[in-house]
Structure 1
Amino acid sequence: MTETHPSSPLAGQPRRATAHQGTVILLGSSLTIVGSVMIAPVLPKLGAEFGPTTPQAAALIPLVVAGPALAIALFAPVAGWLADRFGRKSMLILGTLLYALLGAAPSQLNDLSLILVSRLLFGCAEAMVMTCCTTLVGDYWSGAERSRYIGRQVVTIGVVGSLFFVIGGATGESSWRTPFLLYLLPLLLIPAMALVLWEPQRAPRARRPKAAFGRGILRSMAVAYLLVFAGMLASFVVPVQSPGIVVALGVTSSTLIGLCAGLGLLASLAGSILWPVLRRRLGTRIVNALLLALMAVGLWLLVHAGSYEAVLVAVVIHGIGAGLLVPNALAPLLEYLPEATRARGVGGFTSCLYLGQFASPLVIAAVAGPVQGVPMAITVFSHATLALAAVWLVLGLRRGTPACEAGSA
């Protein structure tokens, strides 16, 4: 009798994904957060080495962390097209290989400009990995099971990010080059990707309908893209601005400043864990209103905090809302996107997510000029976010029961 592999279907039966495929995809998804957090602690050492010899080092060194986010935003739509054209699994394996090699490249470079170029190319590899992993979640699962994996994806990214933030700082004590070598670790994932994952079956090209987005799909894409972009604008304000606000309150301990950032991350994980229950009970639109309201209140409390403890409360409230954002925007999109164009739709979503992250400090800086200061700019931003939450609340109440609108954008 022929033995059938658990992930290999009998003739005529579709394959059913299990925890094996889920584990590989979740670990692959976590590579994007590792791309930035692992080297953030060694930026001062980069400055000490290249600052005296490199013109514009003060401007270039922050881009070593922020540059990949911009590259992801610009390249993710291309990555989605490649995945639709050549296959999700093959592009994921290629992206992971490039991620490891380009991620480790700065450890062998002695020129800050070349390091920055390698980091931008590294961001393109990150875009391939994230787009393909998220698309495979849509390919392998559906309904409630897909929602569970979307939630697990966000939680895994947060947990792994926290872990490698500590690991990056510890390994960077001796040299700024050492953390970059850790980017070679994903090479261990490639054999698992090759053995455990499979390429979703698609109709032969001659019989495949033309890959086009209908009006309803385009509307769902536009809603998801605008929501995640606006949400990331509000979400990224806290990690960028809270250290300065804490210092202005007289707190100079790096441990307490780090605790503030860590608490925000834990709160976002709590939001991601709560998301499936809230979406099932309230529906997508009401959860959109809730998450935007939480972020708006958190931002307002942040700039009006009179003590360190008040800042922590603001960070927790904001973090819970931020943790709800990505899964609640992504889940309806995956439900609407057809298989033939799913990766392109996910690529656009990934692009908007990272564009919002990259643009957030720029928007705050632009608003700060006319309103005379960053605190007032954040206050204005909190009011705008609250107004957007009110719009979603009205839409949710008009739609009706949660069961009717849980799957809609």
Structure 2
Amino acid sequence: MILNSAAPTREVAESAIPVPMRFTLLCLAALTIMSGATIAPSLPALEAHFAQHEDIALLSRLILSLPALMIALFAPIAGFISDRYGRRKLLLLAVTVYALAGISALLQESLVGLLASRILLGIAVAGTMTSVTALVGDYFSPIQRQTYMSQQGAFISLGGVVFLLTGGLLADLHWRAPFAIYAVALLLIPAVLRFLPEPKRNSIEPLPNNVTNGNPDWPAFALLLGAALLNSLIFFLIPTQLPFLLKEIGADTPSLAGIAIAASNLMGALASLVFYPLARNYLGKSGVFVLGFTVMACGMGLIAEADSFNAIIMATAIYGCGMGTLIPHIFATGLESATPNIRGRISGALAASVFIGQFISPFISQPWIERFGLASGFSAASTTLLLLASLALLLHWLKPKPSAKMFLQ
């Protein structure tokens, strides 16, 4: 593939990737977790403020998860636009809308207005996430991409720590205050203009080993999308339900919720940098799925049994180790299947699967929790993760056909 003179070629060494380009991509990727993590500690106070609304328990969770629906709906469209009209134009528009929609919630007096601002934010995240993921595929070689994805996973997790802690401290002042953090996105527009050139894509780039006639193995890719969906569905229990579990055990300060969720992100950063490369090298692709789902199951099970803030911290940290190992693996594996002409659409499909899971999470978890309790919800999540680990192990034993080994071995 040929890029313009400001961008790296596929053949350059890892060290030749410009640091400003890499750092800009990492910061843009962190906007994804910022969209939800920033306001998670505010949910109990937000629910109390709008207590007069019917079904506010569910609606307050939708404040966090509604952007996920928009991402799921618009990421495939964003992928098509990215492939058809270019990555950078879409990225610049998406980042601008992201900032404006995010901070507009500061001015909303009604729950409807607040939900509308979250819809716009979700559309913006769809464009941002899809174009950034596609650019990673364009700029980096497969080996460079694996290294970058571990760095991105760590950066997103560390960003989650910063945004959660900051959001928690601001939520102690007022539940609206964390929405101001979204203005940070405006600072990235000059960096996009300066450091992220539009790649020139052509048809001479060699096809990945698992790609035939320019198309990946779609059944295997569908399995990957299913894993991404279920993983995000379960993950979203932490930002949407953990603040209420903490309140139930007496730790009801918003900043404590931020700290508890941040513990998961902090360990996720360590796992992305250290555990993921080791797991991929020694366990293989399917082994990373087995390990990631198993460790997350342990974390969720410990959350269900926790009766103190310290126990919650330990449990979320363990969960974060599994999450930080699995998330970069999902995206690196998906990009390995994509040729330049469909890279945007592959990125959009991955983003859609992740955020469909996040959106439907409250609709599945809230009725269960209202009937059986918060602890039971986390326990059920633990059981589901163990089933996913067992399925990954079974698929490995079944020795799938060579094209599917891209995803499973």
Q: Does 2:22 correspond to 1:22?
A: yes
Cα contact 2:214–2:339 (8 A) shared by 1: no
> Could you tell me which residue of structure 2 aligns to residue 275 of structure 1?
276
- Once the two structures are TM-superposed, the CA of residue 233 in structure 1 deviates from its matched residue by 2.5
Give the letter aligned to residue 146 of structure 2.
S
> Counterparts of 1:243-392 in structure 2 under 5 Å?
243-249=243-249, 257-273=257-273, 274-305=275-306, 309-367=310-368, 372-392=372-392
Deviates more, 1:139-148 or 1:236-245: 236-245
> Could you tell me which residue of structure 2 aligns to residue 65 of structure 1?
64
- Once the two structures are TM-superposed, the CA of residue 162 in structure 1 deviates from its matched residue by 1.9
SS class of match (2:201): coil
> Could you tell me which residue of structure 1 aligns to residue 224 of structure 2?
224
Q: How far apart, CA to CA, are the structure 1 residues paired with 2:201 and 2:215?
A: 23
Give the letter aligned to residue 390 of structure 2.
A
> Could you tell me which residue of structure 1 aligns to residue 92 of structure 2?
93
- Once the two structures are TM-superposed, the CA of residue 80 in structure 1 deviates from its matched residue by 0.9
- Once the two structures are TM-superposed, the CA of residue 338 in structure 1 deviates from its matched residue by 1.2
> Counterparts of 1:201-240 in structure 2 under 5 Å?
201-203=200-202, 216-240=216-240
Q: 1:366 to 1:40 in 2, by over 3 A?
A: closer
Q: 1:365 to 1:214 in 2, by over 3 A?
A: farther
Cα contact 1:280–1:406 (8 A) shared by 2: no
Give the letter aligned to residue 300 of structure 2.
L
1:84-118 per-residue CA deviation (whole Å, 9 max, x = no partner) reads 11111111111111112222223344443223212
Cα contact 1:335–1:407 (8 A) shared by 2: no
Q: How far apart, CA to CA, are the structure 1 residues paired with 2:100 and 2:156?
A: 21
Q: 1:27 to 1:230 in 2, by over 3 A?
A: same
Q: How far apart, CA to CA, are the structure 1 residues paired with 2:237 and 2:44?
A: 22
Give the letter aligned to residue 318 of structure 1.
Y
Q: How far apart, CA to CA, are the structure 2 residues paired with 1:187 and 1:75?
A: 22
- Once the two structures are TM-superposed, the CA of residue 293 in structure 1 deviates from its matched residue by 1.0
- Once the two structures are TM-superposed, the CA of residue 306 in structure 1 deviates from its matched residue by 5.7
Give the letter aligned to residue 384 of structure 1.
T
What is the TM-score normalised by the length of structure 2? 0.82
> Could you tell me which residue of structure 1 aligns to residue 207 of structure 2?
none
Give the letter aligned to residue 138 of structure 1.
G
> Could you tell me which residue of structure 2 aligns to residue 163 of structure 1?
162
Q: Does 2:141 correspond to 1:121?
A: no
Q: 1:295 to 1:181 in 2, by over 3 A?
A: closer
> Could you tell me which residue of structure 2 aligns to residue 209 of structure 1?
none
Give the letter aligned to residue 91 of structure 1.
L
1:327-378 per-residue CA deviation (whole Å, 9 max, x = no partner) reads 11111110111111111111111111111122233323455688x5554454
Q: How far apart, CA to CA, are the structure 2 residues paired with 1:233 and 1:290?
A: 18
Q: How far apart, CA to CA, are the structure 1 residues paired with 2:194 and 2:46?
A: 39
Q: How far apart, CA to CA, are the structure 1 residues paired with 2:87 and 2:299?
A: 38
Structure 1 unmatched runs, 5+:
205-211
Give the letter aligned to residue 277 of structure 1.
L
Give the letter aligned to residue 156 of structure 2.
I
1:43-77 per-residue CA deviation (whole Å, 9 max, x = no partner) reads 5665676656x777665444333221221122111
SS class of match (1:199): coil
SS class of match (1:200): coil
Q: How far apart, CA to CA, are the structure 2 residues paired with 1:361 and 1:280?
A: 36
Q: 1:408 to 1:389 in 2, by over 3 A?
A: closer
- Once the two structures are TM-superposed, the CA of residue 169 in structure 1 deviates from its matched residue by 4.3
Q: How far apart, CA to CA, are the structure 2 residues paired with 1:198 and 1:313?
A: 43
- Once the two structures are TM-superposed, the CA of residue 298 in structure 1 deviates from its matched residue by 2.2
Bigger Cα Rg:
1
- Once the two structures are TM-superposed, the CA of residue 28 in structure 1 deviates from its matched residue by 0.9
- Once the two structures are TM-superposed, the CA of residue 223 in structure 1 deviates from its matched residue by 1.9
Q: What is the percent sequence identity of the aligned residues?
A: 32
Q: How far apart, CA to CA, are the structure 2 residues paired with 1:44 and 1:308?
A: 17
SS class of match (1:330): helix
Q: 1:121 to 1:318 in 2, by over 3 A?
A: same
Q: How far apart, CA to CA, are the structure 2 residues paired with 1:199 and 1:172?
A: 39
Give the letter aligned to residue 19 of structure 2.
A
Size of the aligned set, in residue pairs, is 393
